[in-house]
Structure 1
Amino acid sequence: MTDYEYPAALTHDLSREELLNHLQNRLDDARFQHCLRVEEAARQLATRFHADVDRAGLAGLFHDYAKQVPIADYKRVIMEDGFDPALLQYGRGVWHGMVGTWFIQTEVGLTDRLVLQAIERHTTGDPAMTLLDQIIFVADFIEPARTLDAEVAARAAALTDMRQATFIELKNTLQYLIANNKIVYPKTLLTFNAFIPKEG
Protein backbone atom coordinates (compact mmCIF):
# COMPACT_ATOMS: atom_id res chain seq x y z
CA MET A 1 0.00 0.00 0.00
CA THR A 2 1.35 3.40 -0.97
CA ASP A 3 2.38 5.91 1.68
CA TYR A 4 0.68 9.04 0.42
CA GLU A 5 1.90 12.48 1.41
CA TYR A 6 -0.74 15.19 1.68
CA PRO A 7 -0.49 18.94 0.99
CA ALA A 8 0.58 20.94 4.03
CA ALA A 9 -2.50 23.12 3.62
CA LEU A 10 -4.69 20.09 4.40
CA THR A 11 -2.58 18.68 7.23
CA HIS A 12 -1.26 21.84 8.91
CA ASP A 13 2.26 20.65 8.06
CA LEU A 14 1.89 17.24 9.67
CA SER A 15 3.93 14.56 7.91
CA ARG A 16 2.42 11.21 7.01
CA GLU A 17 4.35 9.65 9.88
CA GLU A 18 2.77 12.14 12.29
CA LEU A 19 -0.70 11.52 10.85
CA LEU A 20 -0.29 7.78 11.22
CA ASN A 21 0.99 8.16 14.76
CA HIS A 22 -2.19 10.01 15.69
CA LEU A 23 -4.27 7.19 14.24
CA GLN A 24 -2.26 4.45 15.93
CA ASN A 25 -2.61 6.19 19.28
CA ARG A 26 -6.40 6.01 18.97
CA LEU A 27 -7.00 2.70 17.17
CA ASP A 28 -6.19 -0.96 17.50
CA ASP A 29 -4.29 -2.50 14.58
CA ALA A 30 -7.34 -4.00 12.86
CA ARG A 31 -9.12 -0.64 12.76
CA PHE A 32 -5.91 1.11 11.71
CA GLN A 33 -5.46 -1.28 8.79
CA HIS A 34 -9.10 -0.71 7.80
CA CYS A 35 -8.42 3.04 7.67
CA LEU A 36 -5.46 2.47 5.35
CA ARG A 37 -7.65 0.39 3.03
CA VAL A 38 -10.39 3.03 3.05
CA GLU A 39 -7.81 5.69 2.24
CA GLU A 40 -6.77 3.70 -0.82
CA ALA A 41 -10.36 2.99 -1.87
CA ALA A 42 -11.31 6.64 -1.47
CA ARG A 43 -8.37 7.80 -3.59
CA GLN A 44 -9.32 5.31 -6.31
CA LEU A 45 -12.95 6.47 -6.31
CA ALA A 46 -11.92 10.12 -6.37
CA THR A 47 -9.66 9.45 -9.35
CA ARG A 48 -12.43 7.56 -11.14
CA PHE A 49 -15.04 10.27 -10.60
CA HIS A 50 -12.75 13.31 -10.92
CA ALA A 51 -13.03 14.43 -7.31
CA ASP A 52 -10.32 15.87 -5.05
CA VAL A 53 -8.00 12.89 -4.55
CA ASP A 54 -6.07 14.34 -1.60
CA ARG A 55 -9.17 15.37 0.32
CA ALA A 56 -10.73 11.97 -0.36
CA GLY A 57 -7.62 10.15 0.80
CA LEU A 58 -7.22 12.19 3.96
CA ALA A 59 -10.90 11.81 4.87
CA GLY A 60 -10.70 8.09 4.19
CA LEU A 61 -7.61 7.78 6.36
CA PHE A 62 -9.22 9.59 9.31
CA HIS A 63 -12.86 8.54 8.90
CA ASP A 64 -12.67 6.13 11.86
CA TYR A 65 -10.19 8.11 13.96
CA ALA A 66 -12.72 8.34 16.81
CA LYS A 67 -14.29 4.90 16.39
CA GLN A 68 -12.81 3.61 19.67
CA VAL A 69 -13.09 6.74 21.79
CA PRO A 70 -14.59 5.73 25.18
CA ILE A 71 -18.34 6.25 25.44
CA ALA A 72 -17.92 8.40 28.55
CA ASP A 73 -15.69 10.78 26.59
CA TYR A 74 -18.27 11.05 23.84
CA LYS A 75 -21.04 11.82 26.31
CA ARG A 76 -18.93 14.50 27.96
CA VAL A 77 -18.18 16.19 24.63
CA ILE A 78 -21.82 16.04 23.53
CA MET A 79 -22.97 17.61 26.79
CA GLU A 80 -20.21 20.21 27.11
CA ASP A 81 -19.26 21.27 23.58
CA GLY A 82 -22.43 22.42 21.87
CA PHE A 83 -23.77 19.21 20.33
CA ASP A 84 -27.48 18.39 20.21
CA PRO A 85 -28.26 16.48 23.45
CA ALA A 86 -30.56 14.24 21.41
CA LEU A 87 -27.39 12.55 20.15
CA LEU A 88 -27.05 10.89 23.55
CA GLN A 89 -29.70 8.32 22.57
CA TYR A 90 -27.40 6.96 19.85
CA GLY A 91 -23.99 5.34 20.15
CA ARG A 92 -20.55 5.24 18.64
CA GLY A 93 -21.93 4.00 15.34
CA VAL A 94 -23.35 7.50 14.85
CA TRP A 95 -21.01 9.47 17.11
CA HIS A 96 -17.69 8.53 15.51
CA GLY A 97 -18.64 10.58 12.46
CA MET A 98 -20.77 13.40 13.80
CA VAL A 99 -18.87 13.96 17.03
CA GLY A 100 -15.65 12.31 15.93
CA THR A 101 -14.68 15.39 13.95
CA TRP A 102 -14.39 17.25 17.29
CA PHE A 103 -11.62 14.84 18.34
CA ILE A 104 -9.93 15.11 14.94
CA GLN A 105 -9.86 18.90 15.16
CA THR A 106 -8.77 19.13 18.79
CA GLU A 107 -6.28 16.24 18.88
CA VAL A 108 -4.87 16.19 15.34
CA GLY A 109 -5.52 19.74 14.22
CA LEU A 110 -7.15 18.91 10.89
CA THR A 111 -9.59 21.69 10.01
CA ASP A 112 -10.39 21.43 6.30
CA ARG A 113 -14.15 21.90 6.11
CA LEU A 114 -14.71 19.48 3.21
CA VAL A 115 -12.62 16.72 4.74
CA LEU A 116 -14.39 17.08 8.09
CA GLN A 117 -17.82 17.18 6.45
CA ALA A 118 -17.13 13.93 4.58
CA ILE A 119 -16.02 12.28 7.82
CA GLU A 120 -19.02 13.65 9.69
CA ARG A 121 -21.48 12.36 7.10
CA HIS A 122 -20.01 8.89 6.65
CA THR A 123 -21.96 7.46 9.60
CA THR A 124 -25.41 8.90 8.90
CA GLY A 125 -25.44 10.13 5.34
CA ASP A 126 -27.02 13.43 4.41
CA PRO A 127 -29.65 14.25 1.74
CA ALA A 128 -27.25 16.87 0.36
CA MET A 129 -24.17 14.61 0.26
CA THR A 130 -21.54 15.92 -2.13
CA LEU A 131 -19.53 13.64 -4.38
CA LEU A 132 -16.70 13.72 -1.83
CA ASP A 133 -19.14 12.80 0.95
CA GLN A 134 -20.42 9.87 -1.11
CA ILE A 135 -16.90 8.70 -1.85
CA ILE A 136 -16.03 8.38 1.85
CA PHE A 137 -19.41 6.85 2.65
CA VAL A 138 -18.94 4.20 -0.04
CA ALA A 139 -15.18 3.66 0.33
CA ASP A 140 -15.77 2.61 3.95
CA PHE A 141 -18.33 0.08 2.72
CA ILE A 142 -16.45 -1.41 -0.24
CA GLU A 143 -12.81 -1.52 0.90
CA PRO A 144 -11.27 -4.86 -0.11
CA ALA A 145 -11.89 -6.68 3.19
CA ARG A 146 -15.65 -6.21 2.80
CA THR A 147 -17.22 -9.32 1.26
CA LEU A 148 -20.94 -9.35 2.12
CA ASP A 149 -23.37 -9.43 -0.81
CA ALA A 150 -24.42 -5.78 -0.41
CA GLU A 151 -20.78 -4.70 -0.17
CA VAL A 152 -19.93 -6.59 -3.35
CA ALA A 153 -22.95 -5.06 -5.11
CA ALA A 154 -21.96 -1.55 -4.01
CA ARG A 155 -18.39 -2.15 -5.19
CA ALA A 156 -19.70 -3.11 -8.63
CA ALA A 157 -22.02 -0.11 -8.77
CA ALA A 158 -19.18 2.21 -7.79
CA LEU A 159 -17.41 1.38 -11.02
CA THR A 160 -19.85 3.67 -12.83
CA ASP A 161 -22.41 5.28 -10.50
CA MET A 162 -21.67 6.74 -7.06
CA ARG A 163 -25.32 7.54 -6.32
CA GLN A 164 -26.32 3.93 -6.94
CA ALA A 165 -23.47 2.65 -4.77
CA THR A 166 -24.51 5.08 -2.02
CA PHE A 167 -28.11 3.93 -2.27
CA ILE A 168 -27.13 0.27 -1.96
CA GLU A 169 -25.25 1.06 1.23
CA LEU A 170 -28.10 3.14 2.65
CA LYS A 171 -30.59 0.36 1.96
CA ASN A 172 -28.33 -2.23 3.59
CA THR A 173 -27.84 0.00 6.65
CA LEU A 174 -31.56 0.50 7.15
CA GLN A 175 -32.30 -3.20 6.66
CA TYR A 176 -29.67 -4.06 9.29
CA LEU A 177 -30.93 -1.51 11.81
CA ILE A 178 -34.57 -2.53 11.40
CA ALA A 179 -33.82 -6.27 11.51
CA ASN A 180 -31.94 -5.77 14.77
CA ASN A 181 -34.47 -3.40 16.36
CA LYS A 182 -31.94 -0.58 16.47
CA ILE A 183 -32.84 3.10 16.48
CA VAL A 184 -32.52 4.82 13.10
CA TYR A 185 -30.94 8.26 12.99
CA PRO A 186 -33.58 10.43 11.24
CA LYS A 187 -31.17 11.91 8.72
CA THR A 188 -30.27 8.42 7.49
CA LEU A 189 -33.87 7.80 6.50
CA LEU A 190 -34.06 11.21 4.83
CA THR A 191 -30.87 10.38 2.94
CA PHE A 192 -32.33 7.07 1.78
CA ASN A 193 -35.39 8.89 0.48
CA ALA A 194 -33.22 11.42 -1.33
CA PHE A 195 -31.13 8.72 -3.02
CA ILE A 196 -33.93 6.40 -4.17
CA PRO A 197 -33.34 5.95 -7.90
CA LYS A 198 -35.78 7.97 -9.96
CA GLU A 199 -38.06 6.00 -12.24
CA GLY A 200 -38.05 6.62 -15.97
Structure 2
Amino acid sequence: MDKQQLMASIRSGMPERRWQHVQGVIDTSIVLAERFGADPVKAELAAILHDLAKFWPVERMQEYVREEGVDLAVLDYDKELWHAPAGAWAAVKDYGIDDPEVLDAVRYHTSGRAGMTLLERVVCLADYMEPGREFPGVDRIRELADSDLDAALVAGFDSTIRFLLEKGKRIYPLTVAARNDLIRTTTNIIFTAQGGN
Protein backbone atom coordinates (compact mmCIF):
# COMPACT_ATOMS: atom_id res chain seq x y z
CA MET A 1 0.00 0.00 0.00
CA ASP A 2 1.49 3.34 -0.99
CA LYS A 3 1.22 6.56 1.01
CA GLN A 4 -1.81 7.88 -0.87
CA GLN A 5 -3.70 4.60 -0.40
CA LEU A 6 -2.80 4.58 3.30
CA MET A 7 -4.02 8.14 3.73
CA ALA A 8 -7.25 7.41 1.87
CA SER A 9 -7.91 4.35 4.00
CA ILE A 10 -7.32 6.20 7.26
CA ARG A 11 -9.29 9.24 6.13
CA SER A 12 -12.31 7.03 5.40
CA GLY A 13 -12.46 6.03 9.08
CA MET A 14 -12.89 9.50 10.55
CA PRO A 15 -14.94 12.69 10.18
CA GLU A 16 -13.56 15.38 7.87
CA ARG A 17 -12.82 17.67 10.82
CA ARG A 18 -10.54 15.02 12.37
CA TRP A 19 -8.83 14.45 9.03
CA GLN A 20 -8.04 18.18 8.94
CA HIS A 21 -6.42 17.72 12.36
CA VAL A 22 -4.39 14.77 11.02
CA GLN A 23 -3.22 16.90 8.10
CA GLY A 24 -2.17 19.59 10.56
CA VAL A 25 -0.22 17.02 12.59
CA ILE A 26 1.44 15.71 9.42
CA ASP A 27 2.59 19.18 8.37
CA THR A 28 3.68 20.14 11.88
CA SER A 29 5.52 16.84 12.43
CA ILE A 30 7.55 17.37 9.28
CA VAL A 31 8.44 20.94 10.29
CA LEU A 32 9.44 19.88 13.82
CA ALA A 33 11.40 16.87 12.52
CA GLU A 34 13.38 19.09 10.19
CA ARG A 35 13.90 21.72 12.90
CA PHE A 36 15.12 19.32 15.58
CA GLY A 37 16.84 16.60 13.55
CA ALA A 38 14.31 13.75 13.50
CA ASP A 39 13.57 11.72 10.37
CA PRO A 40 10.85 13.68 8.50
CA VAL A 41 9.71 10.60 6.54
CA LYS A 42 9.11 8.62 9.74
CA ALA A 43 7.50 11.67 11.37
CA GLU A 44 5.11 11.98 8.44
CA LEU A 45 4.17 8.29 8.57
CA ALA A 46 3.60 8.33 12.33
CA ALA A 47 1.46 11.46 11.96
CA ILE A 48 -0.63 9.86 9.21
CA LEU A 49 -1.25 6.86 11.49
CA HIS A 50 -1.58 8.56 14.89
CA ASP A 51 -5.39 8.86 15.09
CA LEU A 52 -6.39 5.94 12.90
CA ALA A 53 -8.30 4.26 15.76
CA LYS A 54 -9.73 7.48 17.26
CA PHE A 55 -13.29 6.89 16.07
CA TRP A 56 -13.47 3.16 16.52
CA PRO A 57 -16.06 1.69 18.88
CA VAL A 58 -14.67 1.39 22.40
CA GLU A 59 -14.92 -2.40 22.24
CA ARG A 60 -12.70 -2.55 19.16
CA MET A 61 -10.10 -0.27 20.73
CA GLN A 62 -10.10 -2.42 23.85
CA GLU A 63 -9.71 -5.59 21.78
CA TYR A 64 -6.69 -4.16 19.93
CA VAL A 65 -5.05 -2.93 23.14
CA ARG A 66 -5.47 -6.40 24.66
CA GLU A 67 -4.16 -8.11 21.51
CA GLU A 68 -1.06 -5.95 21.42
CA GLY A 69 -0.48 -6.48 25.14
CA VAL A 70 2.18 -3.76 25.50
CA ASP A 71 0.38 -1.63 28.10
CA LEU A 72 -2.80 -3.17 29.44
CA ALA A 73 -2.79 -0.66 32.34
CA VAL A 74 -4.07 1.99 29.93
CA LEU A 75 -7.44 0.21 29.99
CA ASP A 76 -7.86 1.32 33.62
CA TYR A 77 -7.70 4.97 32.54
CA ASP A 78 -9.68 7.36 30.35
CA LYS A 79 -10.90 5.84 27.09
CA GLU A 80 -9.48 8.90 25.29
CA LEU A 81 -6.05 7.28 25.70
CA TRP A 82 -6.97 3.94 24.15
CA HIS A 83 -6.84 4.95 20.50
CA ALA A 84 -3.06 5.42 20.65
CA PRO A 85 -2.02 1.85 21.57
CA ALA A 86 -4.94 0.47 19.54
CA GLY A 87 -3.73 2.48 16.57
CA ALA A 88 -0.17 1.23 16.97
CA TRP A 89 -1.40 -2.36 16.83
CA ALA A 90 -3.70 -1.57 13.89
CA ALA A 91 -0.70 -0.09 12.05
CA VAL A 92 0.99 -3.49 12.41
CA LYS A 93 -1.99 -5.77 11.98
CA ASP A 94 -4.00 -3.91 9.33
CA TYR A 95 -1.34 -1.91 7.46
CA GLY A 96 1.83 -3.98 7.83
CA ILE A 97 3.88 -1.20 9.44
CA ASP A 98 6.89 -2.74 11.18
CA ASP A 99 9.11 0.21 12.08
CA PRO A 100 9.33 0.20 15.90
CA GLU A 101 10.15 3.93 16.03
CA VAL A 102 7.05 4.84 14.05
CA LEU A 103 4.90 2.44 16.08
CA ASP A 104 6.12 3.89 19.39
CA ALA A 105 5.44 7.42 18.13
CA VAL A 106 1.84 6.36 17.45
CA ARG A 107 1.56 4.40 20.72
CA TYR A 108 2.72 7.25 22.97
CA HIS A 109 1.41 10.32 21.14
CA THR A 110 -1.30 10.96 23.74
CA SER A 111 0.40 9.90 26.96
CA GLY A 112 4.11 10.29 26.43
CA ARG A 113 6.44 8.14 28.52
CA ALA A 114 9.81 8.36 30.23
CA GLY A 115 12.66 8.08 27.77
CA MET A 116 10.74 9.31 24.74
CA THR A 117 12.69 9.15 21.50
CA LEU A 118 13.15 12.26 19.39
CA LEU A 119 10.52 10.99 16.94
CA GLU A 120 8.03 10.34 19.76
CA ARG A 121 8.56 13.86 21.10
CA VAL A 122 8.13 15.40 17.65
CA VAL A 123 4.84 13.62 16.92
CA CYS A 124 3.46 14.17 20.44
CA LEU A 125 4.26 17.89 20.27
CA ALA A 126 2.84 18.19 16.75
CA ASP A 127 -0.41 16.70 18.03
CA TYR A 128 -0.53 19.35 20.77
CA MET A 129 0.24 22.37 18.61
CA GLU A 130 -0.92 21.79 15.03
CA PRO A 131 -2.57 24.93 13.61
CA GLY A 132 -6.14 23.76 14.25
CA ARG A 133 -5.61 23.35 17.98
CA GLU A 134 -7.08 26.05 20.21
CA PHE A 135 -6.82 25.80 23.98
CA PRO A 136 -5.39 27.99 26.75
CA GLY A 137 -1.61 27.93 26.53
CA VAL A 138 -1.27 26.61 22.96
CA ASP A 139 0.31 29.84 21.74
CA ARG A 140 2.98 29.54 24.43
CA ILE A 141 3.64 25.94 23.37
CA ARG A 142 4.06 27.08 19.75
CA GLU A 143 6.39 29.88 20.84
CA LEU A 144 8.57 27.48 22.83
CA ALA A 145 8.61 25.04 19.92
CA ASP A 146 10.45 27.59 17.80
CA SER A 147 13.64 26.78 19.68
CA ASP A 148 13.12 24.16 22.42
CA LEU A 149 11.30 20.92 21.66
CA ASP A 150 11.42 19.61 25.22
CA ALA A 151 10.30 22.83 26.91
CA ALA A 152 7.36 23.00 24.51
CA LEU A 153 6.47 19.39 25.26
CA VAL A 154 6.66 19.97 29.02
CA ALA A 155 4.30 22.93 28.55
CA GLY A 156 1.97 20.61 26.64
CA PHE A 157 2.03 17.99 29.37
CA ASP A 158 1.48 20.73 31.96
CA SER A 159 -1.60 21.86 30.04
CA THR A 160 -2.98 18.32 29.94
CA ILE A 161 -2.31 17.73 33.62
CA ARG A 162 -3.95 21.05 34.58
CA PHE A 163 -7.00 20.18 32.49
CA LEU A 164 -7.32 16.75 34.10
CA LEU A 165 -6.92 18.21 37.59
CA GLU A 166 -9.60 20.82 36.91
CA LYS A 167 -11.96 18.07 35.68
CA GLY A 168 -11.21 15.89 38.71
CA LYS A 169 -9.87 13.10 36.50
CA ARG A 170 -7.07 10.67 37.19
CA ILE A 171 -3.76 11.34 35.48
CA TYR A 172 -2.19 8.52 33.51
CA PRO A 173 1.16 7.69 35.17
CA LEU A 174 3.08 7.62 31.87
CA THR A 175 2.23 11.30 31.33
CA VAL A 176 3.63 12.27 34.72
CA ALA A 177 6.67 10.08 34.04
CA ALA A 178 7.19 11.73 30.64
CA ARG A 179 7.02 15.23 32.13
CA ASN A 180 9.33 14.37 35.03
CA ASP A 181 11.83 12.68 32.76
CA LEU A 182 11.99 15.65 30.39
CA ILE A 183 12.59 18.01 33.32
CA ARG A 184 15.20 15.69 34.82
CA THR A 185 17.16 15.26 31.60
CA THR A 186 16.97 18.78 30.19
CA THR A 187 18.77 21.76 31.65
CA ASN A 188 16.96 25.08 32.10
CA ILE A 189 13.60 23.55 31.19
CA ILE A 190 11.80 24.56 34.38
CA PHE A 191 12.47 28.25 33.85
CA THR A 192 11.57 28.04 30.15
CA ALA A 193 8.39 26.01 30.53
CA GLN A 194 7.07 28.19 33.34
CA GLY A 195 7.52 31.36 31.34
CA GLY A 196 3.76 31.81 31.16
CA ASN A 197 0.76 30.77 29.18
Q: Equivalent of 1:105, from 86, 89, 92?
A: 92
Task: Output aligned runs, 1:40-189, within 5 Å.
Answer: 40-189=27-176
* 1:194 equivalenced with 2:181 (yes/no): yes
* Deviation string, structure 1 residues 121-151 (Cα, Å, up to 9, x no partner): 1111111011111110110111111233311
Kindly indicate whether the alpha-carbon contact (under 8 Å) linking 1:47 and 1:53 is maintained by their aligned counterparts in 2.
yes
Q: Which runs of 5+ in 1 are unaligned?
A: 1-13
User: 1 CA distance for matches of 2:41 and 2:123?
Assistant: 12
Q: Which runs of 5+ in 2 are unaligned?
A: 184-188, 192-197
- The alignment of Structure 1 onto Structure 2 pairs a total of residues equal to 186
Partner of 2:195: none
Between 181-190 and 92-101, report the one with greater CA deviation: 92-101
Kindly indicate whether the alpha-carbon contact (under 8 Å) linking 1:146 and 1:152 is maintained by their aligned counterparts in 2.
no
Kindly indicate whether the alpha-carbon contact (under 8 Å) linking 2:62 and 2:82 is maintained by their aligned counterparts in 1.
no
Q: Match for 1:44: what amino acid?
A: V
Given the two structures, how large is their TM-score scaled by the length of structure 1? 0.86
RMSD over aligned CA atoms reads 1.7
Summarize the Cα distance change of 1:135–1:95 in structure 2 as closer, same or farther, 3 Å threshold.
same
Structure 1 position 81, deviation (Å): 4.8
Partner of 1:10: none
Structure 1 position 85, deviation (Å): 4.2
- Percent identity between matched residues is 31
Q: Match for 2:124: what amino acid?
A: F
Structure 1 position 91, deviation (Å): 3.5
Given the two structures, how large is their TM-score scaled by the length of structure 2? 0.87
Structure 1 position 195, deviation (Å): 2.2
Summarize the Cα distance change of 1:130–1:85 in structure 2 as closer, same or farther, 3 Å threshold.
closer
